[in-house]
């Protein structure tokens, strides 16, 4: 198994790691109910996609 011959500087190490980060997901407002949703996906709240109802959403029963 190979071992490093020279010390890797902090700058070189950090340059290698520049692309390793997390980003927040992009959210857009639903045109029908204005709830945040992922782009190009059906709205979980109202069940519409491109102004068409594609998911049947059950209404919450209030007791």
Q: Encode pLDDT of 7-57 as tens digits.
A: 999 999 999 999 999 999 999 999 999 999 999 999 999 999 998 888 888
**pLDDT recorded at residue 56:** 86
Q: What residues pair up with 48 in beta bridges, in sequence order?
A: 53
Q: Which of 45, 49, 48 is nearest to 59 (CA)?
A: 45
**pLDDT recorded at residue 61:** 59
25-52 b/e with 16+ CB inside 10 Å = b? eeeeebeeeeeebeeeebbeebbbbeee
Tell me, what DSSP letter sits at residue 15?
H
| Residue 60 clears pLDDT 80, i.e. is over it | no
């Amino acid at each position: 198994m190979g071992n490093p011959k020279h010390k890797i500087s902090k700058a070189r190490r950090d340059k290698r790691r520049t692309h390793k980060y997390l980003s927040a997901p992009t959210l857009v407002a639903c045109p029908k109910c204005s709830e945040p949703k992922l782009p190009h996906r059906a709205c979980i709240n109202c069940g519409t996609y491109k102004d068409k109802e594609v998911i049947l959403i059950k209404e919450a029963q209030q007791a």
